Amino acid sequence: MKVLVTGGAGFIGSHLVDRLLAEGHTVTVVDNFDSFYDPAVKQANVAAHTNHPHFRLVRADIRDAAALRAGLDGAYDLIVHLAAKAGVRPSIENPTAYQQVNVGGTQNLLEFAREQGIRQFVFASSSSVYGVNPRVPWREDDAGLQPISPYAATKVAGELLGHVYSHLFGLRFVALRFFTVYGPRQRPDLAIHKFARQIRSGRPLPFFGDGRTSRDYTHVSDIVTGIRAAMDYCASDYEIINLGGDQPVTLTELVAALEEALDRKAVLNHHPEQPGDVPRTWADLTKAGKLLGYQPRMILRDGLRDFVKWLDTQT
C-alpha cells in the first residue's frame, strides 16, 4: 500500500511507520515538528526512516491546505490522520489554536482525500470525548458524550466531520478512540514519562487529587495493531471504535507500579484535581474485538518495564 500518515514523526505515528515499512509499504509522513515539545525528539523518532527507499517526509502544517496540495502527490491508498494539537490542559489555555489544528486541519485532510479519490481514512480520536459520562466501561454507541475540554470537543468535531464526508462522498472513515497510550517515545509531558523521570531523579512528582482517578492505559504496540487492523477494515463506511487496555488503573496504583519498574520510591507533591481532567476512563472493547479482532496483549507491569528500558537509552 501507499500510505499517508499525518503526525508520523510523533509518538504513535513513528511506531506505526516502523510497522508499515517493515511490512513493505510505501509511507509518506506529513509533520510540522510543532514546538509543543522539543522537535528534536520527533527528529530522533524518524531518524531511522529517513534513508529508507519507501519513506518520504513532507514538512507541512495541516492547517495550510495549499502546502498540503503542493507537497503531496495524491497517489495514496489511504490516510491515517494522527496529527493534532494534543493535551487537555493546554487546550483550556488556548482553545482557538486547538480548533484551528484539530478541526480545520482535519477538514483540510478530508478535502484532500475527497479531491484525490482516497477511499480509506483512519482518524485518531480520543477517550476524552466521553468526558464525565458515569456509565463505564464506555461504549461507542452511548449517546451521552460529555466532553469537558476544548481538546475533547475538537475530537468530537473530527468524528462528525468524518460522518459528513462518509455520507456525502462515500469515504470510508474509521475513528479510533485511543485510551491513554504509553510506551517508548511517549511525549515527555504525559504522566508516565514525566513521573518516571521525576522518580528516578528524586524530584517530587505532581500528584493531583486523592489518587483515586483511574485511566485505561494502553501500550503503543496494541494501539499500532489496532490502527493496522482499521487500515484494512472494509465492512462498512463509517465506524467509531475504542482502542484501550481494558484494565483501568488508579493514579495511586500507577505510581506504585512505576516505583517497582524503577526500583525507587516516589516523592509526592499533592495538588487539587485539575480542570478538564475526568475521574476515570475505561474502554468497552466489544466492538473493537468484533470488527478488528482487537485484543490488547501488553499488561501494565510489562509495558512499564518496556518503557523504562527505552528511557534508560535516553539519558
Q: Tally Cβ neighbours within 10 Å of residue 101.
A: 20
Q: Which three cell numbers stand for residue 118?
A: 482516497
Give the DSSP letter string of 231-297: HH--S-SEEEEEE--S--EEHHHHHHHHHHHHTS---EEEEPPPTT--SB--B--HHHHHHH-----
Catalytic residue chosen out of the listed positions 130, 151, 165, 217: 151
Q: Tally Cβ neighbours within 10 Å of residue 282.
A: 21
- CA torsion sign for 131, 132, 137, 142 is negative
Return the ∠ at Cα 193 (arms to 274 and 45), rounded to 5°: 125
Residue 112's contacts (CB-CB under 8 Å, 6 or more residues apart) are 65, 68, 69, 72, 74, 79, 118
Structural element, H or E, at residue 167: helix 150-169
151: annotated active-site residue: yes
Q: Which three cell numbers stand for residue 169?
A: 462522498
Q: 152 forms bridges with which residues in the sheet?
A: none
Amino acid symbol at 111: E
Amino acid symbol at 128: S
258-268 burial: b if 16+ Cβ within 10 Å, else e: beebbeeebee
Active site residues: 151
